[in-house]
Amino acid sequence: MDRRTFSKMLAGLMTGSALPTHLQAKTPLGDQVSFLKALEEKPWLLGYLGTRETELHANLHIVSGRVPSDLRGHFLRNGPAQHNLGPDRFAHWFDAPGMVQRFTFADNKVTHHGRLVETARNVTETKAGRIQFLGFGTHGHDLTSGGSADGQNTGNISLINHAGELLALWEGGSPHIINPETLKTEGRKSWSAETQGLPFGAHPRVDKDGSMWNLGYSVNPAALILYHISADGQLLQTHVIPQTATPMIHDFMITATKIVIVAPPYTSSNTTDKSFIDLFEWRSDKPTQVLVIDKADLTNVSQIEFDPFWVFHFGNAYDIGTSEIGFDLALHDDPGFMTKDAFAVMDGSWDGAASAASRYVQARINLKSKTVSLDKAPEFGQVEFIQTDDRENLSSHRHALMLAQPGSASVFGFNRLVLVDRNTGNASSFDVSETEMLEEHLIIPKPGNERAFWIIGTALDWQKGKTSLSIYDGMHLSDGPIMKAEMDLALPLGLHGTFIQAAGG
C-alpha cells in the first residue's frame, strides 16, 4: 500500500463531522487511533481496516486466464465490514455490520456488487455514525442490548440459499432475507411466532431431501435448540435441549441418520452486562461433549466425552455402518483465535504468534465403545474454513478443501490452499504470494460432470491494496488459477459464502 492510499484511508476514517452533538460528545469506543498507527507498520492489517460505505461497486480486471463459459451464477460472501463508525471502532473482528459481496459470473465475465446487510441494528448505527449496541466482543457503558437478541443482530457471518430465499445468517438471532439481484435486505426471517428471534446458527446443514437442519444456542434460558425446515421452507419441528451452562457452538453436523453436536467446554459461566463473549469461560478442566442425536427421535441422545478442544468448523459427516460416524474438522487447542487474536487484529496489537494451534483432523465416533478417534494432519500447519463438495454430502467424501498457514506467520491470515484427497491420502496445494491473504474458498460442481469441480474464492493483496477473485480447476489446484481478476479496491476480510447457480446454468 502506498503512502497516498494510506493517507486517503486515514482521512476517510477521521471524518465523523456530520454527527449529532450528543453523539460527538461521547468518548470514542474501541481503538481506532492505535489501529491506524499499527497499520502504518503492519500493512497487512488492511484486511481488518473495514469500509465506511454501505454499498460498493468495484471494477474487476481479469489479469490472467478467462472465466469458463459454463460457470454462471452468483458467488456471494458475507462478513463483518464496517469496523469503524464515526470515531468508534469495534473491538472484535466478529462485531461489525455485515456486508454481502456478490461476484456474478456470466458470459465469460465477472462483476461485483457489495451491500450492507440492513438489519435494524446496522441501519441505526450506520445512520448515527456511532456504535450504539453491545456486540459479540464490544462493550461500553452507553451501549444497550437493543431489547432483544435481534437488537444486536449484525447479520454478518454467512449465507445460505434455501427454499428460494437467500438468507444472511448471524448466530444469536434471526436470519435476514436478502434479494440476490439487488442485495436489498427484505426483512427478518421467521418460521413461526414460537421461533421468532431465537438464536439460529450460521451453518445450517442441508439433508438429502432438501430439508434444512440448524442449531442455535441460548444463554438465557440456557438451552440448545434444533430446527428442521422442509425443502419448501416450512418449519417441521423444533427441539429444545436444556443446558446447565450453555456451550458456544458455531457449527454442527448431520449424517443420513444422526445429528452430531460437538460442545466444547467454552460455556456461559459468567453473569455480566459486558459483551457476549464475556459471558463465556474456557474450562480446560472439563471435557468436550459430543452429542449424537437420532434424527428420527430427537430425544434419543448418546453422549460421549472427549479431551477439551475448540472447534469452529466441520467438513462433512457420514454414517459408517450403524455404529460409527466419520467427519473432518479444524481442531483448535482452545478458543484463543476468538478470545485473543480476533481482538488483537482490531486494535493492531497482533504480534505474529497465533494463540492456539488449529489442525486438520479426520475423526471417527464409535457409538458402541463411546470413543472418538482423531487422525491429525499437523503437516498442513494452521488450517481453517474446511469445505467439501455438496454432491458428496452425508457420504464418505473424497475431497476436503481448506485454507492453511504452513509456517510461522508474520500476518494474521492464510496463504495456502490445500485440497486433501481422503481416498488416497494425498494432498495438492497452491501458495498465493506472501502479500496475499486468502478468504474462504468454495467447491463448485462443474455442470454436466459428476466429479469435476472448480475452486472459487477471494484473496486480499495488502501490498497492492486490492482484493482478487480466483477460479481453480479442482483437479489441477497446484497449477494455480485458471482465472484471476483484481478489484480496484481492498475488501475487508470476510467469513463465509455460498454459490447460486444461474437458472439453466
Q: Does 185 bind other proteins (CB under 8 A)?
A: no
CA dist., res. 189 & res. 171, Å (int): 13
| Residue found by looking up cell 490452499 in the block | 417
Q: Does 219 bind other proteins (CB under 8 A)?
A: yes
For other proteins, which residue of 7, 64, 108, 144 counts as binding (CB under 8 A)? 144
Q: Pick from 196, 269, 302, 355: which binds other proteins (CB under 8 A)?
A: 196
CA dist., res. 429 & res. 474, Å (int) = 10
Shortest reach from residue 197's CB to other proteins, in Å: 5
List binders of other proteins among 338-367 (CB under 8 A).
none
- Find the binder of other proteins among 14, 235, 240, 374 (CB under 8 A): 240
Hey, what's the cell of 483?
482465472
Using the contact rule CB under 8 A, the part of the chain among 31-39, 147-155, 420-428, 431-439 near other proteins is 147-155
Task: Find the radius of gyration of the CA atoms of the chain.
Answer: 22
The 253-272 site mask, x for binding other proteins (CB under 8 A), equals --------------------
Backbone angles phi, psi at 472, to 5 degrees: -120, 150
149 binds other proteins (CB under 8 A): yes
Contact pick of 225, 226, 254, 471 for other proteins (by CB under 8 A): 225
Q: Which of 25, 41, 147, 426 binds other proteins (CB under 8 A)?
A: 147
Q: At what angle do helices 3-14 and 32-41 cross, to 10 degrees?
A: 180
Among 78-86, 204-212, 219-227, 367-375, the segment contacting other proteins (CB under 8 A): 219-227
Asked whether the beta carbons of 56 and 114 are under 8 A apart, the reply is yes
Q: How far is the CB of 200 from other proteins (least distance, A)?
A: 11
Find the shortest distance in angstroms from Cβ 118 to other proteins: 15
Dihedral sign, Cα of residue 323, residue 325, residue 326, residue 332 = negative
Q: Does 223 bind other proteins (CB under 8 A)?
A: yes
Stretch that binds other proteins, among 5-13, 70-78, 191-199, 394-402 (CB under 8 A): 191-199
Under the binding rule (CB under 8 A), the answer on residue 456 touching other proteins is: no
- Residue 129 corresponds to which amino acid? G
The torsion angle over the Cα atoms of residues 333, 410, 399 and 227, rounded to 10 degrees, is 50
Tell me whether residue 278 or residue 324 sits nearer to other proteins (CB atom).
278
Question: Which one of residues 17, 107, 164, 194 is an interface residue with other proteins (CB under 8 A)?
Answer: 194
Among 220, 369, 408, 478, binds other proteins (CB under 8 A): 220
Per CB under 8 A, which region of 66-74, 143-151, 450-458, 480-488 contacts other proteins?
Answer: 143-151
Assess 273 for contact with other proteins (CB under 8 A).
yes
CA geometry: angle 33, 39, 45, nearest 5 deg: 120
Q: Where does this chain touch other proteins (CB under 8 A) — which range of 158-166, 212-220, 284-292, 459-467?
A: 212-220
Q: Residue 225 or residue 304: which is nearer to other proteins going by CB?
A: 225
Q: What is the C-alpha to C-alpha distance for residues 11 and 124, in angstroms, rounded to an integer?
A: 23
Q: Which stretch binds other proteins (CB under 8 A): 50-58, 79-87, 149-157, 200-208?
A: 149-157
> Taking Cα atoms as reference points, which of 32, 26, 21, 49 lies closest to residue 143?
26
Q: Cβ of residue 176: shortest distance to other proteins, in angstroms?
A: 15
Per DSSP, helices labelled H in 230-341 are: 336
Find the binder of other proteins among 71, 110, 131, 198 (CB under 8 A): 198
Choice between 150 and 251, CB closer to other proteins: 150
SS3 content of the chain, % helix, strand, coil (to 5): 15, 40, 45
Number of C-beta neighbours around residue 433 at 10 A: 10
Interface residue with other proteins among 156, 238, 358, 415 (CB under 8 A) is 238
CA dist., res. 442 & res. 496, Å (int): 9
233 binds other proteins (CB under 8 A): no
**Residue choice 164, 221, 425, 504 for contact with other proteins (CB under 8 A):** 221
By C-beta, is 149 or 401 nearer to other proteins?
Answer: 149
> For residue 376, what are the β-bridge partners?
361
The distance from CA 250 to its chain's CA centroid, rounded to whole angstroms, is 9
Task: Name the H helices within 91-137.
Answer: 120-128
Which uninterrupted H or E stretch holds 5? helix 3-14
What is the spatial distance between Cα 441 and Cα 430, in angstroms, rounded to a whole number? 12
Minimum CB distance to other proteins, residue 342 (Å):
22
Name, in order, each residue with C-beta under 8 angstroms of 222's C-beta and a sequence gap of 6 or more: 242, 243, 244, 245, 246, 268
Q: Rounded to 5 degrees, what are φ and ψ at 476?
A: -135, 50
Q: How many CA atoms lie within 13 A of 15 on its CB side?
A: 9
CA atoms of 29 and 128, how far apart (whole Å): 14
Name the minimum Å distance from CB 192 to other proteins: 9
Alpha helix ranges (H) inside 163-295? none
Contact string 92-131 vs other proteins (x = CB under 8 A): ----------------------------------------
Binding residues vs other proteins (CB under 8 A): 144-151, 193-198, 218-221, 223, 225, 238, 240, 273
